[in-house]
Amino acid sequence: MGNNEEKSTLMRQASSSISNANVSTSMDIEAYSQHSFSSYDANRTETVQVQSYWKTYLPKELICCIIVFIFGVYSPTNLWRPIFGINMRPIPYQKLSSGDVILDLALSNEYKPNDQVWCSSMLLKQTSFTLPLIIMIIITQIAPKARVKYHDTHAAACVLLTSIGTCEFSTQMAKMFVGRLRPNFYKFCGFNSETLTCTGSEHDIIESRSSFPSGHSSLCTCGMFVLVLFLLGRAKIGSSAIPTKNEKNSFFMNRKIAAIVSMTPLAWSTFVACSRLYDNWHHPSDIVAGCCMGLFFPAVVYHIWYPSVVSKQAGIPLESLIASALPSNKDFA
């Protein structure tokens, strides 16, 4: 009997010790959880505190993009052309023994001055740069995708500035290197069939030899494609959200409609490209090359500041994604 009572006493003591240990462990876990969550909340609160745009590195980046834009747009004609000149191809003609001069019919089309064409240079600049910039600024201010609003506006502006700067530089340098004669070359340069030389101004002679690639096509396609990528990033075509059975049809239909609407700016660039053929300012191959360049540069530059338009994070600037991953980094706060 004594042994049994002793065993019972030992068992009660062991149970009491286990219970106390469990209570202590539960209290420690609860205290640890409270500490962890409070620390997490503190970190989240710290990230929400938005630092002034001018105290981050972003203004310096924007200045670099503006420099790329100015250099790309103005340096080919004002810096590099005076140094390297333009490829002066021989004027195609054939003089018969009778004294008559035969010209290339492909270069004898009617000449339309810049103020009489479908898309003038001023309209091109307004619709290719100013219009997309205004649209993107308004959208990023009204419905930003980033937690910090200026991340979205900054990224959109940088993409447009850098895309147009690099595209324009490549286009104008290619014009100088190739020196292809325009379809309206003879009338544009003022070709004289007696002296067999161009009698127009220096500006007209250079412009008449700047057919390849089409500058209107490349610039307009570049500006419109930047806007298309920007809108596609907000169309949620790569969203991983799973709709309910009742929402399935409308969910996929809305995404398709959003994707189609996002592509509509390319209709304007297509019209501008076709108008250059209609106005006898470019050969078909000039326009195709210009459109390809206008598509290439935005496709590359866009992904410097944004993820892919078919990713789950589409439309969210990379600065914002990095800020979420590195909440302690004050540059992104």
Render 90-134 in DSSP notation, one character per residue. PPPEEE-TTS-EEE-GGG-PPP--GGGSSS-HHHHHIIIIIHHHH
For residue 44, the model assigns a pLDDT of 41
Among 321, 277, 306, 331, which Cα is nearest to 136's? 306
Instruction: Confirm if 47 and 320 have CB atoms less than 8 A apart.
Output: no
CA atoms within 13 A on the CB side of 44: 6
Tokens of 237: 């075509």
- How far CA 192 is from CA of 115, 185, 186, in Å, comes to 24, 12, 8
Residue 5's pLDDT band (cuts 50, 70, 90) = low
**H helical segments located in 191-333:** 202-207, 215-233, 248-263, 265-278, 284-305, 318-325
Q: What is the mean pLDDT of residues 223-251?
A: 76
Residue 38's pLDDT band (cuts 50, 70, 90) = very low
pTM of the model: 0.80
Tokens of 28: 């420690």
Instruction: Confirm if 87 and 176 have CB atoms less than 8 A apart.
Output: yes
Greatest pairwise CA separation for the chain in angstroms: 144
Among 119, 138, 311, which Cα is nearest to 229's? 311
**Whether residue 25 has pLDDT greater than 80:** no
pLDDT winner (highest mean) among 17-31, 151-165, 225-239:
151-165
- pLDDT digits over 135-174, tens only? 999 999 999 888 888 999 999 999 999 999 999 999 999 9
Choice among 20-24, 49-53, 130-134, 167-171 with the minimum mean pLDDT: 20-24
List residues bridging with 192 in a β-sheet. 197
